[in-house]
Structure 1
Amino acid sequence: MPRNPEQAIKKAVSLLRLMTYTREVSRWVRLSGSEDEARAFDYLEATLKGFGLDVRRHQHDALISWPGEASLETAGAPQGVDRCITHAFSASTPPGGLEAEVVDAGEREFGPADRGKIVLVEGLAMPERARAAEQAGALGVIFINPPELHEMIISTIWGSPTPENVAALPKIVAVSVRQEDGAALRERAGTGDLRVRLRTAVDTRWRKTPVLIADLKGRDEPDRFVLFSGHVDSWHHGAMDNGSANAVMVEMARIFSRRRRGLRRGIRFAFWSGHSHGRYSGSTWYADTHWDDLYRHAVLHLNVDSPGGKGAALLSEALTMAETWGLAARCIKEVSGQDLQRRRISRMGDQSFWGIGLPSMFVDISAQPAGASPAGDAIASLTGG
């Protein structure tokens, strides 16, 4: 190994290869459990085997939800909104749709006045907000996205449901509209004279989904490893979320496969399905099924999600556990010169291994500065930025 192995590894990173891997994975719309997602897994599996890694591919059952068509029509002018979307694990409406009066809930708590109504809510379609509306007796919820539409999943259940929590699957109809359409709906709702008809089609069923594991053994402690993970499934073509992260993982596998003799411990690369459409069902299944191996042998969970966005040069807001902050802070400082804030990882991003006691570091490591783009600000709202 060279005198400064970290510098040698950084110099070995190929931008051309990163873009090639991203382009290849993003050829397909990778709905969890779909044939196109399987093709992306085929590509990743073949590439990793080409580097000489020990590769295993699992299949397991997961409850997966694919959002389909959605529409919103208003009584009187205007007749509807230009575009709305529904969400994973929303209820589907009957063929004739769901019609009810709309009340503007904004950011307030839900209450008796919302029973039997469709509530208009500010922000992204967050699971806890949808569940609170359902528990208050609302029939449907319209989320006003800031300002463009964002694909979301509204189930509060982590992973596939069990007999103990299956009753918590959403029964409410949920859609999102753009900010300008939401403002028009809010204005009419303020007069007390707004009724809408929602139509949603959501395909929720049990599907076979893949998990891809690729191991590089360490030299001194061959049974111990860092779990380096990211999801493959996507909304649309998902070049950044999460094709770019898959590219990072593949490039690290290539680089470390050529330096395996210098590895004290091993690296286990884990590629999940079921992140976006199963609420982390892939990583949850792996945690449940391989609990003993992870408990005895894993030393760190390193997760990567959505790196490489244009202008995403802000690394100081990356999320870590308290016990991994020191290592993360040193890495961030050496790479960017920025001082890492102390921000705990929230309930997000395939953080399925806390119950095992596995320390975790990072999710979406890079971000755009506040105000740089509406999309960046929306993502920051998910992570507490």
Structure 2
Amino acid sequence: MDKLATVESDLLEQLNLDIPNQVLDKFQTLIRESSSKDEKEAFKFLGSLLDKAGVPHTIRNPKIYLSVPISASVEVNGKTYRAKTPAFSKSTDGLTGELIYIPAGTKSDKMDIFAVEVLNNEESFEGKVVVSEGLGLPARVKYFEDRGALASIFINPGKNIHDGICTPIWGSPDLDNYETEPEAFSIAVNYEDGQELIKLAQESNTHATLKTKLKKGWFECPLLDICIEGNEEPEKFVLLHGHLDSWTYGLGDNATGDAALVEMARVLYHNRKHLKRSVRVAIWPGHSTGRYAGSTWFADYFGLDLEENCVAQVNCDSPGCRWATSYEFMDWTEEVDGHCQTVIRDALNKPSKGSRPTRAGDYSFNNIGISSYFMLSSTMPTEVAAEKGYYPVGGCGGNIVWHTEDDLIDVVDTDILLKDMKMYLLAVIRNVNATILPYDFTKSVESQLKVLAEYEDAVKGVFTFESVKKDGEKLLTVIQEFNEKLEPLKQNGSLQDQQVKHANDLLLELGRELIRINYSRAGKFRHDPALNIPPLPDLAPATELHDHEEGSHLYLVTLNHLLRGSNRVSSTYRKLIKELSNF
């Protein structure tokens, strides 16, 4: 076994459940809403554990914009139904309107709680209270709001109601987006009550009265920041992070993640002599009621340092949940596919599969262009979820207690948590100790060329991406040649070797440019809204061109948009070709 492999093995063996169990025991007594006393107590407790473990840390106190739901109800014909209101809905002492049922856009009888389409093309729901299935996602709330709906009621699939957030603003607002905060009133109900409301809505002239109460404003919240300095290139670092705040007790989302992060920080700090680059461990506030406000503040406040020095961001959310034994529903950017699959195989002897990260989690760093992996970790296999009659959710290892008051200690499986910690820790260790960063950007460009072909097909005969395609194909060839030159450097043990430094700088530059054009419309240091971002978003309107009447204003506007988008993508490809060709 070589030296690095021995280090990896030793560090993984040092992981244990002592600190995680203390975190889980404490957190099942705390409702960790951001801006609350319990949140402050939770951060203080984590700090005390780090103090006992001898791990230096900093508590920062950013001021972030939050909306905290307090209560909600809906009343129809004298009957009051239990309800929740999402963060960034509006408060009302009583709002009344006629019910109307608008089915969600699903192609099967099984409810998709993340569906954003609706099976209705009406131009207006003026003055109506809309009833529909799913979650109060920003796109759906806005759809009804834009068509004049007085309010919207969303029917969740189970007996519980899932907490959520309906603003499209990612993090605290700025002048570019503060006016997009929802003006709508919105609530959610469970499945049984929802079916009653559907029937009532189908009767003529049935009215509903909604009441909602939320606390909204700018709040100072703690943020835990741990810097573990490496030895050879300490300015470069991997950011390992997750959120502390929760909906009610939130044991699976994300007490398990917090427990894992503190334990990994302990092991990394006490083995820092074995780390070539640094690791920065952060635990955020404002994830749930601020749309990732904590991580967004960090991305803003440390933006220049992140751009220059962060080699990867690793999100730790909902590890260690019961029945979560599959690693085939992972998230990572394309260039780290080989790194992540190898880590999971070596740490857990498990197959894995990664998909394009959705616009979710604490992925607040796409605009900087940082290579990213993991969002959620282990998940229950599809067949297990089917046996239990579970519908897909966004955390807790696939357990449907996600974002509900039933996310309690029984959702935790500490054996799985220990395995997940090994996966995370090995991924970080290999990233910080790799002589040449473990990224293969041929996969990024190949993925973009595939998408480009789909867009080309969509606009065939009207517009062409041929020039963009040629630039992309040339870049792919240049990256392949670049990768061949990296092979002998991987055996060089020093990160201070000038050729190694140059190679790694180019790998970071590839990420900065290719990730930005593939995951962000807004550009560097600006945050895209919490809406779906398709691949190569500047070119994605190609799929909608023929939805518009040929020669119409919107048709010509779309063509103009595609031309500008083509310039952006081609310019990026050409810049990278030039930079790599000089290596």
1:103–1:192 Cα contact (<8 Å) kept: no
For this pair of structures, how many residues does the alignment match?
A: 379
1:125 shift after superposition: 1.9
Question: CA deviation digits over 1:173-211, x for unaligned, max 9?
Answer: 111110111111112222334311111011111111222
Q: Distance in 2 between matches of 1:87 and 1:3?
A: 47
| Match among 211, 214, 223 for residue 226 of structure 2 | 214
2:327–2:352 Cα contact (<8 Å) kept: yes
Matches within 5 A, 1:366-385: 366-370=378-382, 371=386, 373=388, 377-379=392-394
Name the counterpart of 2:138.
Answer: 127
| Match among 156, 179, 189 for residue 168 of structure 2 | 156
Matches within 5 A, 1:47-126: 47-75=49-77, 79-81=79-81, 83-93=82-92, 95=93, 97-107=94-104, 108=118, 109=120, 111-126=122-137
Q: Report which stretch shifted further, 191-200 or 156-165.
A: 191-200
| Match among 42, 48, 61 for residue 46 of structure 1 | 48
2:11–2:267 Cα contact (<8 Å) kept: yes
Name the counterpart of 2:8.
Answer: 6
Matched, 1:146 2:157: yes
More helix by share: 2
Q: Report which stretch shifted further, 7-16 or 238-247.
A: 7-16
Matched, 1:348 2:363: no
Matches within 5 A, 1:260-339: 260-339=272-351
Question: CA deviation digits over 1:303-358, x for unaligned, max 9?
Answer: 11111111111211111111122111112223444332241111111111111111
* 2:181 alignment partner AA: L
* 2:192 alignment partner AA: E
Q: Compared with structure 1, are the counterparts of its residues 212 and 9 closer, same or farther at alpha carbon in structure 2 (3 Å cutoff)? A: same
Q: Distance in 2 between matches of 1:376 and 1:248?
A: 27
1:363 shift after superposition: 0.7
Q: Distance in 1 between matches of 2:388 and 2:166?
A: 24
Name the counterpart of 1:359.
Answer: 371
Q: Distance in 2 between matches of 1:320 and 1:374?
A: 28
Q: Compared with structure 1, are the counterparts of its residues 374 and 67 closer, same or farther at alpha carbon in structure 2 (3 Å cutoff)? A: farther
* 1:104 alignment partner AA: Y
1:138 shift after superposition: 0.7
1:8 shift after superposition: 2.5
| 1:311 counterpart SS class | coil
1:2 shift after superposition: 7.5
* 2:210 alignment partner AA: L
Q: Compared with structure 1, are the counterparts of its residues 110 and 308 closer, same or farther at alpha carbon in structure 2 (3 Å cutoff)? A: farther
Q: Distance in 2 between matches of 1:31 and 1:17?
A: 22
Q: Distance in 1 between matches of 2:149 and 2:369?
A: 38
Name the counterpart of 2:426.
Answer: none
Name the counterpart of 2:517.
Answer: none
* 1:84 alignment partner AA: A
Question: CA deviation digits over 1:29-57, x for unaligned, max 9?
Answer: 11112221111111112322333433222
| 1:114 counterpart SS class | coil
1:215 shift after superposition: 0.9
Q: Compared with structure 1, are the counterparts of its residues 296 and 26 closer, same or farther at alpha carbon in structure 2 (3 Å cutoff)? A: farther
Question: CA deviation digits over 1:203-239, x for unaligned, max 9?
Answer: 1111112221101111111111110010111111111
Q: Compared with structure 1, are the counterparts of its residues 220 and 29 closer, same or farther at alpha carbon in structure 2 (3 Å cutoff)? A: same
1:61–1:209 Cα contact (<8 Å) kept: yes
Gaps of 5+ in 1: none
Q: Distance in 1 between matches of 2:31 and 2:15?
A: 27
Q: Distance in 1 between matches of 2:391 and 2:20?
A: 22
Name the counterpart of 2:247.
Answer: 235
More strand by share: 1
| 2:312 counterpart SS class | strand
Structure number, greater radius of gyration: 2
Give the CA RMSD over aligned residues.
Answer: 2.1
1:51–1:253 Cα contact (<8 Å) kept: no
Q: Distance in 2 between matches of 1:360 and 1:3?
A: 23
Name the counterpart of 1:197.
Answer: 209
1:110–1:136 Cα contact (<8 Å) kept: no
Gaps of 5+ in 2: 105-117, 403-530, 533-583
Q: Distance in 1 between matches of 2:306 and 2:349?
A: 33
Name the counterpart of 1:136.
Answer: 147
Name the counterpart of 2:570.
Answer: none
| 1:86 counterpart SS class | coil
1:160 shift after superposition: 0.8
Name the counterpart of 2:566.
Answer: none
| 1:356 counterpart SS class | coil
TM-score (norm: length of structure 1): 0.93
Structure 1 stretches (4+) deviating beyond 4 angstroms?
A: 372-376, 380-384
| 2:60 counterpart SS class | strand
Question: CA deviation digits over 1:93-137, x for unaligned, max 9?
Answer: 1x2x11111111111256334121111111122121111111111
Q: Distance in 2 between matches of 1:51 and 1:264?
A: 22
Q: Compared with structure 1, are the counterparts of its residues 195 and 110 closer, same or farther at alpha carbon in structure 2 (3 Å cutoff)? A: farther
Name the counterpart of 1:177.
Answer: 189
| 2:58 counterpart SS class | strand
| 2:300 counterpart SS class | helix
Name the counterpart of 2:457.
Answer: none
Q: How many percent identity over aligned positions?
A: 34
| 1:244 counterpart SS class | helix
Q: Report which stretch shifted further, 248-257 or 185-194.
A: 185-194
1:11 shift after superposition: 2.3
Q: Distance in 2 between matches of 1:339 and 1:212?
A: 33
Q: Report which stretch shifted further, 222-231 or 112-121.
A: 112-121
1:53–1:215 Cα contact (<8 Å) kept: no
